[in-house]
Structures are given as structure tokens and as C-alpha cells.
Amino acid sequence: METGKLSSENLQEMIINQIKPIHSDILIRPGVGEDCSAIEFGEFACVLSTDPITGAASEIGRLAVHINCNDIASSGVKPMALMLTILVPPTTSQDELNFIMKQASEEAAKLGVDIIGGHTEITTAVNRPLVSATAIGKQLKSNLVTSSGSKAGDKLIMTKHVALEGAGILAFDKERELSQTLTVDEIKHAQKMLDDISVIPEGVIAGAFGVTAMHDVTEGGILGAVWEMSEASGLGCTLSRQALPIDSVTAKICRFFDIDVLKLISSGCMLITVSADRADALLHQLEEAQVSATIIGEMTVSKDVLMADGDIIEAVEPPEADELYKVVD
């Protein structure tokens, strides 16, 4: 099997189809493109999400906090707490383990999120440090946003710029190689992209505004995330290639490694669908909060996910292994 997330088809057939529903108070169950699960507790829902960091060698403490909190934000709510599992090989030094936990603790504190437990173990089951986290949030049931609520005719909004996480990871983990083609300032610029990896601000704003759906962009990049969101909603989407915001340094990094910028891991970007007549108002609110956002497409009745590049229209295929795994060990 290929490195990275399972294909959407394998995920459905091998994993999701094996799950047998039991409790009626589960509000959001597993599904392709769905970021979170939710459990009913009276008028509230407990929102949960879990993910590991496997594609990065450095900054894993920081990334583990953000990628999980970002999933909670896709439900329109600020995360409350995290549980961390840290597995490290016997070759790991105490300083390395301390650094991972220091990163995680500092990032959680910045977000106002409590670390409430987890597990730490030295084990030969891994050959490099692995951090997995579970994030928890609380939301009124009536305000719960899913990845599957898009409506035909909705505008598709993307925050920030394409592949910012992938560019940041590569700028840290492959700094020596990139110094062949990037200046010191460009490498620092790419590394600093990880400072913008949280989507909590836009998630909370969009949740309060009242949007139809949100999806956190992760493995598979922007194209994978759009395909997943369309699949979850049972709709299609037409994207505009010219509308996709791509940082010039990110583009240089992808050209150097010969990878597709549109299929590179992109935590820090949120996909949001909202009715066409309210899209400008949402963009204005995001702009006031200093969150850059762009309309990149429109949801359609057809189940085809398409990319329009001038007069050329191409089909967007289901996500495969992330481009990051072509570069990292």
C-alpha cells in the first residue's frame, strides 16, 4: 500500500463500512471528507477529532496541536482541550522529547486549549517520534457545522493560500536542499508560514455567521479537500485555477522538488461554503479579522469536480498519497 492516507475508496470499503452504529445520540458519524465526530449531550454536542503527525520530522509538537484543533474549528467552534499520545524510539534523547512537549504546550496555551491527558512511551514500534492528538470542543447542537452541508449554488471560499503547511514543513525539514534555490529570506518566509497554520479564527467567525459547510484542508492538498467536501455533500464543484492563491515561495519550493502545489498538504487553509448572496458579507467579516479569503469556485448539482483554467476544463480526481511523501523520508 502507498504511504499516506487511504484512498477515499479504500477508506470507505475497508474502514467505514466495517463500523456498526450503536448509539442514537451520535450526531456526526465517520464519513469521507468529514472532519469531526459529535455526540449529543442535551442541547450541546461534544465535538471530537483525532490525527497523528507522520509527514514531518521537526515541529511535530506544534503541528499536532494545530491540525487537531483545526478540525474542531471546522465545526464552527473553538476547541477546549487536547489529549496527546507521544511515541518515540529508544534513540530519542530527553532533550528531544522535552522539545516536543514544550512545543505542544506553548501552542496549546496560545490557542487557550488545555492539555488534559494522553500517553507517552519509548518503543521500538516507531523509528522516529510520532505524535497523535485528540481534540475536544463543545458546540450548541443547533449551531453545529459539518463538512457535508453544502448546497448547490453555494460559493466556495478558501482562506489563506495553497499548501502553506507543506511549504513550511519542507522549509524546516529540507532547508539544506532548498538553500540551493531559495535565499535565506525566502526559506525564513516559508518557515514562518507555520505561524499561520491555525484556522480557529475563521472557523469561529464562519460558525457564528452561519455557513453551510466547512472542511479543513490537510493531506491531499486543496484539490483533495475540494473533492472530499463535494463527496461528503453529494455535489460537484467547479474551481477556477486563476482564483487559487499561491505564494511565490511555495511555488518555488514545489518546482524545486517537482511536486504539485495543489496536492500538497495544506493545514492552515479552511474551505467554507456559503450561499451566493451572503458570500461577500462573509468575506468582509474575514477581512476585518485580518484573515485573507478568496472565492475559488461554486458547488454544483452535478457530482463532477472540475477545474476551469481559461477555456480548458479538467476533472479533479479523488485524492491520492500527498505530494509531501515524495520528498520526506
Beta pairing, strands 114-122 & 79-88? parallel
Q: What is the mean pLDDT of residues 287-304?
A: 96
Inter-residue contact 259 to 170 (CB < 8 Å): no
The pLDDT tens digits of the residues spanning 175-207 come to 999 999 999 999 999 999 999 999 999 999 999
Q: Chain centroid to CA 66: how far?
A: 9
Give the confidence band of 166 by pLDDT, cuts at 50, 70, 90. Answer: very high
Q: What is the mean pLDDT of residues 255-274?
A: 96
Q: Looking at residue 142, what DSSP letter applies? A: G
Q: Is 262 helix (H, G, I), strand (E, B) or coil?
A: helix
Is the model's pLDDT at 35 over the cut of 80? no
pLDDT of residue 54: 79
- The proportion of the chain whose per-residue pLDDT surpasses 70, expressed as a percent, equals 98
Walk me through the domains of the chain, giving residue ranges and CATH numbers. 8-143 (3.30.1330.10), 155-326 (3.90.650.10)
pLDDT of residue 151: 97
pLDDT of residue 224: 93
The pLDDT tens digits of the residues spanning 205-257 come to 999 999 999 999 988 999 999 999 999 999 999 999 999 999 999 999 999 99
Q: Whole-model pTM?
A: 0.90
pLDDT of residue 205: 96
SS3 letters across 276-313: HHHHHHHHHHHHHCCCCEEEEEEEECCCCEEEEECCEE
pLDDT of residue 14: 84
> Nine-digit cell at 274?
456559503
CA 50/CA 32 separation, integer angstroms: 15
CA 329/CA 327 separation, integer angstroms: 7
Is the model's pLDDT at 13 over the cut of 90? no
Q: Looking at residue 324, what DSSP letter applies? A: G
> Nine-digit cell at 46?
461534544
Q: Is 138 helix (H, G, I), strand (E, B) or coil?
A: strand
